């Protein structure tokens, strides 16, 4: 949630901050603002409700371009306080000396606000962030009055450290002070911050998209760490002022991977990037000639995985749907008891974690708050922790015992597409990796890895039907209620299809097992209601046909996703979208694509913002 970008160096900060905010806008777009220290030594702050373009217009109205070389910006996804200019970041203390931007939630803000109010401080916003800014300012003034600092010590650093010791909750912050016009302080706990290291400059951001155009050298801050940045120096410490010796690493993705290119929307770009993303995901991991799967990130844990009594797959939203596909795969192909569970439920229910339990955290960003907390809870209870993440260097990737990167490339569209298919690919490779070492015959294994290797080509064939999907969708996209139904491997795909439609077109949609419909939801079927059936050939095909008949009898309109060559399905459906024939365990990789396209075309036809749906942000880093 929310995006931070901050800069200290020799360049003019303002255009760099706006550029960074535009790249971070997918993290939050309720309001935005910047703060810089201008040539006169004053804080220059501008904030605006709406997209970054609104803030940019406000700045263009200023007669003189600020030449400041230090500053910070923020794009907000509201948590505390409504969407107003007063609630937009940056926030200041009431003396106007200190400015702060913040991602996360200060859980004890009410108690801190009461304490500060009793000391005479006046608040202007409804946010928890202003409380933190005011607290830092209060501590700053107390330390300044006592004048106990050694020469050369940053008063701002000490104030931030002292204030953060009083804070409960999560934060990623950047702080500047007009009395220290060359110093930028950043700190994190539970909300990601990356420091880009340039020549006599540092650029800090919530993720790499705002940094990659300026430097490929980065430092990932860990929880309870902070950095004091000046154009010619930096120092990283814990908030207890213990020196930390950071590792400078290289960013994996290039700037052009973050660009929209010739596509009208990031979501469409990412849907069509899926074949290439899957090629990257499987490269070096599928050895077809030797009939084996190579997962280097798990090589040291093969024994534990093979002797696992239970594997728990945990995530949220789309990642949980991928985990549910993985549940079917691991039990079917590897014969290991597996459970897919919502991370938000796992972390609070005092879960039973027995000996030889493996917990796999699934997250595109590697920063999802609930998934990170669930993984930490599992580790605390003695489980082996593994990760399936896309963002290299993310918190989950750094904290798990081992894992597998997706290598899907940056995913900017809020509605996840290529991350989902790559998560399913990794889980398929994991199931094959373990299955071959347990009970799977060489023949079945070869058939499946050959099938997995063919997915990019087969997926391109599905993508060629985008115009057909658009025509079908436009016929029904004004209907406000849809159902998505599937059995077996197709049940998680039904969930994912419904989620995509809800996320970006604001159509109410439900995904469920096809057999569950008779146990209540069939009462929702009305004349003309669109019902999407995942009706590919498999061992439950005849049962799905029976479910289709039940919907038809009640006036529902059937959109079937079926296997190429299945002419029978046309007898039962108003519309058929075909996918190539492939082993049932690999079908979700193909059947999800038409559902992604349905959601995209529905949102487009209804005039919705495809890449920035209302009330949503890309990475959920707060509870």
φ, ψ of residue 78 to 5 degrees: the values are -65, 135
**Per annotation, catalytic residue among 2, 424, 477, 608:** 2
DSSP strands (E only) in 504-595: 508-513, 530-534, 557-563, 575-579
Nearest to 385 by CA among 402, 368, 366, 364: 402
Angle (CA) 59-61-67 rounded to 5° is 50
Rounded to a whole number of angstroms, the distance between the first and last alpha carbons of the chain is 10
H-helix segments, 67-107: none
Contact present, 43 and 99 (Cβ < 8 Å):
yes
Q: Are 533 and 525 in contact (CB under 8 A)?
A: no
Catalytic residue among 22, 113, 418, 618: 618
- Contact yes or no for 400/378 (Cβ under 8 A): no
Strand-pairing partners, residue 235, are 228
Give the Cα-Cα-Cα angle 373, 379, 385 (nearest 5 degrees): 95
How far out from the chain centre does Cα 488 lie?
A: 27
Best CA proximity match to 18, nearest among 63, 73, 64, 60: 73
Count CA within 13 A, CB hemisphere, residue 543: 14
* Residue from 312, 370, 321, 275 nearest 503 by CA: 321
Could you list the beta-strand ranges (E) of 120-216: 171-177, 180-189, 194-197, 202-205
Q: CA-to-CA distance for 541 and 448, rounded, in angstroms?
A: 21
Helix pair angle (52-60, 13-24), 10° resolution: 160
SS3 content of the chain, % helix, strand, coil (to 5): 40, 25, 35
How far is it, in rounded angstroms, from Cα 351 to Cα 51? 41
Check whether the bond before 323 is cis (ω within 30° of 0).
no
Closest CA to 463 of 263, 268, 217: 268
The CA distance from 163 to 137, in Å, is 9
d(CA 68, CA 81): 30
The two structure tokens encoding residue 28 = 């939050």
2 is catalytic: yes
**Residue for token digits 């016009």?**
181
Dihedral sign for Cα 23, 244, 191, 100, please: negative
Calpha distance 620→363 (Å, rounded): 10
Closest to 481 measured CA to CA, from 417, 414, 553, 557: 557
Angle made by CA atoms 463, 465, 467, in degrees to the nearest 5? 115
Is residue 618 among the annotated active site residues?
yes
**Structure tokens of 469?**
């999907």
Report in angstroms the alpha-carbon separations of 218 from 21, 103, 246, 255. 18, 20, 10, 14
Catalytic residue positions, numbered: 2, 618
């Amino acid at each position: 949630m929310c995006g931070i970008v901050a800069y200290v160096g020799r360049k003019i900060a303002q255009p760099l901050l706006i550029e960074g905010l535009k790249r971070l806008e997918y993290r939050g777009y309720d309001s935005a603002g910047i703060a810089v220290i201008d040539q006169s030594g004053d804080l220059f702050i501008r904030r605006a409700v709406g997209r970054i373009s609104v803030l940019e217009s406000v700045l263009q109205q200023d007669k003189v371009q600020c030449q400041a070389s230090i500053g910070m910006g923020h794009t907000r996804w509201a948590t505390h306080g409504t969407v107003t200019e007063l609630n937009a970041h940056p926030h200041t203390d009431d003396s106007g000396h200190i400015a702060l931007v913040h991602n996360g939630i200060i859980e004890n803000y009410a108690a801190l606000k009461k304490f500060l109010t009793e000391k005479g401080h006046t608040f202007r916003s409804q946010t928890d962030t202003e409380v933190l800014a005011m607290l830092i300012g209060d501590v700053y003034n107390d330390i300044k009055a006592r004048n106990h600092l050694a020469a050369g010590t940053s008063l701002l650093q000490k104030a931030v450290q002292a204030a953060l010791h009083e804070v409960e909750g999560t934060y990623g912050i950047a702080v500047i002070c007009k009395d220290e016009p060359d110093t930028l302080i950043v700190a994190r706990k539970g909300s990601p911050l990356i420091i880009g290291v340039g020549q006599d400059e540092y650029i800090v951001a919530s993720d790499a998209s705002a940094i990659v155009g300026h430097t490929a050298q980065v430092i990932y801050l860990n929880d309870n760490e902070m950095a004091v940045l000046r154009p010619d120096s930096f120092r990283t410490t814990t908030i207890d002022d213990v020196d930390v010796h950071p590792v400078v690493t290289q960013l994996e993705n290039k700037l052009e991977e973050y660009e929209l290119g010739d596509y009208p929307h990031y979501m469409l770009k990412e849907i069509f990037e899926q074949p290439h993303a899957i090629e990257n995901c499987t490269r070096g991991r599928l050895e077809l000639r030797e009939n084996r799967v190579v997962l280097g990130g798990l090589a040291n844990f093969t024994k534990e995985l093979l002797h696992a009594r239970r594997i728990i797959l945990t995530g949220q939203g789309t990642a949980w749907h991928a985990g549910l596909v993985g549940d079917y795969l691991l039990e079917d192909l590897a014969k290991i008891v597996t459970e897919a569970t919502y991370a938000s439920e796992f972390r609070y229910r005092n879960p039973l974690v027995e000996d030889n339990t493996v917990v796999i955290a699934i997250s595109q960003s590697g920063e999802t708050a609930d998934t990170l907390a669930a993984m930490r809870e599992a580790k605390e209870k003695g489980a082996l922790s593994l990760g399936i993440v896309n963002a290299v260097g993310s918190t989950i990737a750094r904290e798990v015992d081992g894992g597998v990167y997706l290598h899907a490339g940056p995913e900017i569209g809020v509605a996840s597409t290529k991350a989902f298919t790559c998560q399913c690919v990794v889980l398929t490779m994991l199931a094959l990796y373990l299955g071959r070492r347990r009970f799977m015959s060489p023949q079945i294994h070869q058939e499946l890895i050959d099938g997995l290797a063919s997915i990019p080509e087969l997926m391109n064939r599905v993508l060629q039907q985008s115009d057909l999907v658009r025509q079908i969708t436009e016929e029904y996209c004004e209907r406000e209620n849809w159902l998505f139904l599937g059995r077996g491997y197709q049940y998680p795909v039904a969930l994912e299809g419904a989620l995509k439609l809800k996320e970006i077109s604001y159509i109410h949609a439900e995904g469920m097992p096809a057999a569950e419909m008779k146990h209540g939801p069939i009462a929702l079927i009305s004349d003309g209601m669109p019902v999407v059936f995942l009706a590919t050939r498999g061992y439950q095909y005849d049962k799905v046909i029976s479910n289709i008949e039940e919907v038809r009898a009640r006036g529902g309109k059937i959109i079937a996703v079926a296997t190429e060559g299945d002419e029978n399905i046309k007898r039962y459906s108003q519309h058929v979208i075909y996918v190539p024939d492939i082993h049932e365990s690999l079908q979700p990789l193909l059947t999800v694509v038409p559902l992604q396209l349905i959601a995209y075309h529905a949102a487009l036809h209804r005039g919705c913002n495809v890449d920035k749906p209302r009330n949503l942000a890309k990475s959920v880093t707060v509870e």
